[in-house]
Structure 1
Amino acid sequence: MKNIKFLSSLFSLIAVLLVTSCQNEALDSDLLNVTPPPVGNQSFTVDMDGQPFVATSTSAVISQGLIVISGVRGNNGETVGIAIPSTTVGTYSGDVAFLSYESSSVAEYTYNNDNPTTGQSSGTVTITSINTVNQTISGTFSFIGYWGNQAENRPSIQFTNGVFNNIPYTGTIPDPGEEYFRATVNGTAKNYSNIVVGSTTESVSIGGTIVSPMSNVQVIIPTEDLLPGTYPIGNDILTGVVGKVSDGAIDNFTSVSGSLTIISITNGWIKGTFSFSAIGPSGSGQPVSVTNGSFNTELP
């Protein structure tokens, strides 16, 4: 299931794209099934159950930590849409990407890559190039589209060989700015000079270390939660975000409660805030308070 904050931002950006597409689409209805010559090298194509879809207009926005791209065919609002919670090149699975097909602007439902029967998401999007000089974006995609009204039992649609080339985008990729990791441990504010970021297939850890006097704080985030939003911090990485703290005589205390807010994931950088309460192994020691936590660093 896609993160709620991601979908909220996504739908607001789709509204922007719809306005832009309406302004740019061809006026002649005879163009509905005609392949137009590309403008420059701009194109958006995909095979729908083996039949070609060639967009007559395109739009793209990079904003709020998201990339949203649409290809529109004709003047009835037939649209293939792509959205990912990132602003950098890379490959994104259907678990994080949102892909959709709308047969017309008045269609009651859309096809999208979330399977309502299994709860699983299909597809892959690869952003191959973001040209920040010419402000164009290129990539490939594929997915299975499932009809939004499960009760109607419509067959799914296979979208294959999707390619978008040199699509002009609006918005900007912000400079990530200063790298930092800060936190207040039991009332003492600390600015961690050594920032360590690591990853496994299941999680990403972001931490700060001071060698002398020794202090270390880290947050461990499941990969499924690497989206803008606010998440509870607990004591089990299998169920959510976990915090760790060592400070002087305090050694390897683990969080029991708290929260993490991922503000943005932009151009390969992650920015957020956190606070949590931690206790020692097997519940030993006095609880440690970690407050005013904040970080801005590059993802691995």
Structure 2
Amino acid sequence: MKKNKIFSIFTFLFIVFSFISCDNEPIDPTLLQQINSNNGNNGGGGNGGNPTNGIFKVDFGGQTWEANDTEAIMYSSAIQIGGLKTSNGQTFAFALNGNTVGTYDSTSNLIAYDANNNSNGDVYWAVNPTNPSVSAGTVTITNIDTVNKKISGTFSFTGYWSDTSVSNVPPISFTNGVFTNIPYTAGTNTSTDLFYAKVDGTEFVEDQIDVSEVIASGFPDSYSIVGAKADGQNVGLRISKALGVGTYNFSGPFNQNLTSTCVFNSLLYTSDTGALTISEKTATRMKGTFSLTVSNFTTSQTKTITQGSFDVELP
């Protein structure tokens, strides 16, 4: 079972990373000007990469942005990689549906940049709102060092502002992206954890159960519970740590306390409506049931998840 704390950008991977918000405030035009002119907040001056954390850098706005903190998580069927500049909270994050060397396209994987530690969930992401089925970028994993547990690769993408109700925010081109020797953590399933769900009436038989603690600015501290298959499909829940025994409703992808993200056939689905009941909760374990509908933004396809249940050890 995977147990670790996830820094702020990974919130988008579990909560709002792949959705378009229609009611959040747009980015401040002054900040946008700073982003595109690189007045120092986004550029490479200071806050350089820490060799012990590997190197994570990318060119945009005429300068090189370099993280001074990084993190990667290797699941049985997925990879998450993040680069963070701690001085201002600016972050890049990738969620890849696979765990091998190769190229991962934006049409079926998640690639994003958070310009200003934006607590409302809006980011520059590799999805063209006028044609989301066309590639807007790639992440290529070039090496996975399983002995030293380090991962390396390259990336480039065009980032579009995720709030499509705003029309005056130009996209940003990110080029020459590279991450080198980023340490990754990995975990294995434990026999004490249980997870069950049916998707459109068919049992979802997971190969691994991952439980993580999600700590992020602008969102409540939460638990992430994911049942994953080796082929990349998964059913995931994000549950606020503040929720106790009781029944709670899913209400779209932006709910602060309860959301779901799932991957089926390389498409990402997010929670619409449904309910989750926590039947038992202690300092070390949580047990509950859930049912909900999830949908994919690009295709508008929906999936119905029923008879969901979990009984897991908490990190």
- Coarse TM-score class (shorter-chain normalised): 0.3 to 0.5
Which structure would you say has the larger RCO, counting Cα contacts within 8 Å and 6 or more residues apart? 2
TM-score (norm 2): 0.45
